[in-house]
Amino acid sequence: MNITKVITLCLFLCSTQLKGKDTVKYNVLMIIVDDLSSLVQQMDNKDLHIPHLRKLMESGRSFERAYCQAPLCNPSRTSFMTGRRPNETHIYTNDPHFRGVNKRLKTIPQHFKEQGYFTAGIGKIFHNWGQAIQGDPISWTEEEMYHWGTHSSDWYIPNRPYQMHIDIPKGPAVQCVDVVDEAYVDGRIAQAAVQKLTAWSEVPFFMAIGFWKPHLPFNAPKKYWDLYDRNQLPKLKYTEPVVDVPEIAYVDSDEARSYSDVNRHQLVPIKQKAELRHGYCAAISYLDAQIGKVLDQLEKLQLSEKTHVVFVSDHGYHAGEHGQFGKWTNFEIGTRVPLIIASPEVKNPGEPSFQVVELIDLFPTLTDLCNLPAPKLRVNLQGKSLVPYLQDSEVKGNTYAVTEIARPIGGEATFKSIGSSIRSNTHRYTFWRDRFSGEILEEEFYDLQSDPFEVVNIAQSEKDQAIKMKLQNKLLQIIECK
């Protein structure tokens, strides 16, 4: 055989192999959780019992500087599930549903469904209550389940079925009883997800699993509370609101105060703060156990090598940090979220990435990983693909993360101001502006180079004005780009 024929044969074999690789339909397993702070990504924090999440971090890429685009459920989930910032979705509060504002928005599962995937939503994927549309039917191949109800209705009541009890009033913020995992909705979600993985093991799927924890109420089964000594919980750096931070930046534990055992107006006692933080940790460990059931089934079915797994929280959470219990803040603890991607494309798994990334990056990342065309939209997706960071954890980029939230909390359509925050590799700048006039009401500026959770407000510092103005201009450029 002459050299020409040898070369021709080699080229034919290589092209055949590449073609075969391109025609593989990779699955997507997207695990979305509620109110989980970046506390779980502190690998040296041995006090937190999360063996399954640690295993996922070791088998994938953990993004240590990932940020939501809104520290509240509906605007955040709308944002990352459509790849749009709040300034484009026009969703800043928990009402309305995004379909009622912009029918042309396309979600990640909707795009996958259009490309021939079976799509399922099990649990809380979109917002769960108080909207004209329940979930998002157009996104799924089949009807959603465990996606609608109030968080307070997820409660154990003796001698009643394990279900959402929508007939009961909102009760205490904590519950510690010796029950099975399925007594609460996340146990039932894990059970349903395991069954669906088995049923869809031979078809290309996009499966979103939305666990309701560790959102209040903190009511995990007793065995998860028993994992912790209340006197040795993960430590807090700032136990009270910080001086020189504008009052508008805080929410005074408004969410926790909506439960019957937390006083609406007085300071939350130290003893109760410890109980709430204990409950938060217990809820995280309960959540971790449910995630383990799903990931174990994925491995048992030998689907791991053809499935891209995404784990993400909708936003951060104050579990005692700054003396707060709730979300709705533009601080690092309120905006920074755990994000893990485990995929056959990850090189050197277990190495974290410290690049600043945003949750709107998920849409283009998943289309790239699954070799899908970009969705046909009037305006291109606003995020960037994270595939380069999966292939090399040390890839650098000149990136920023932007987060926005409305005030007053609970104002819904009548909100009066918006807090817009930009995070660079070294600093965070936030301004609070009047919704109608655009006037800047308050400013915050933090140097995060030595401590990413630093909250010494240097907005008025003369020597830092150049950096502050650069970030202000970049922030305006991003949020005013319609």
The one-letter amino acid code at 284 reads: I
Measured over the CA atoms of residue 282, residue 290, residue 125 and residue 314, the dihedral's sign is: positive
Separation of alpha carbons 34 and 48, rounded Å: 17
Give me the torsion for CA of 201, 145, 100, 110, rounded to 10°: 0
Active-site hit among 52, 97, 111, 127: 127
Question: Residue 196: in which H helix or E strand, if any?
Answer: helix 185-199
Separation of alpha carbons 369 and 362, rounded Å: 10
Measured over the CA atoms of residue 55, residue 61, residue 66 and residue 69, the dihedral's sign is: negative
Report residue 452 as tokens.
């990413």
The one-letter amino acid code at 179 reads: V
The yes-or-no answer on residue 73 being catalytic is yes
Report residue 223 as tokens.
């065995």
Determine contact, residues 206/108, Cβ cutoff 8 Å: yes
Cα 308 to Cα 90, 340, 478, distances in angstroms: 30, 11, 30
Active-site hit among 68, 73, 281, 370: 73
Report residue 288 as tokens.
């971790």
Question: Residue 224: in which H helix or E strand, if any?
Answer: helix 222-225
Q: What share of the chain is helix, strand, coil (3-state, %, to 5)?
A: 35, 15, 45
Determine contact, residues 295/309, Cβ cutoff 8 Å: yes
Separation of alpha carbons 369 and 205, rounded Å: 14
Tell me how crowded residue 397 is: count the other CB atoms within 10 A of its CB: 12
β partners of residue 121: 208
The 3-class SS string of 378-429 reads CCCCCCCCCHHHHHCCCCCCCCCEEEEEEECCCCHHHCCEEEEEEECCCEEE
The one-letter amino acid code at 310 reads: V
Angle in degrees, 0-180, between the axes of helices 73-82 and 362-369, rounded to the nearest 10: 40
Separation of alpha carbons 181 and 8, rounded Å: 60
The yes-or-no answer on residue 176 being catalytic is no
The set of catalytic residues is: 73, 127
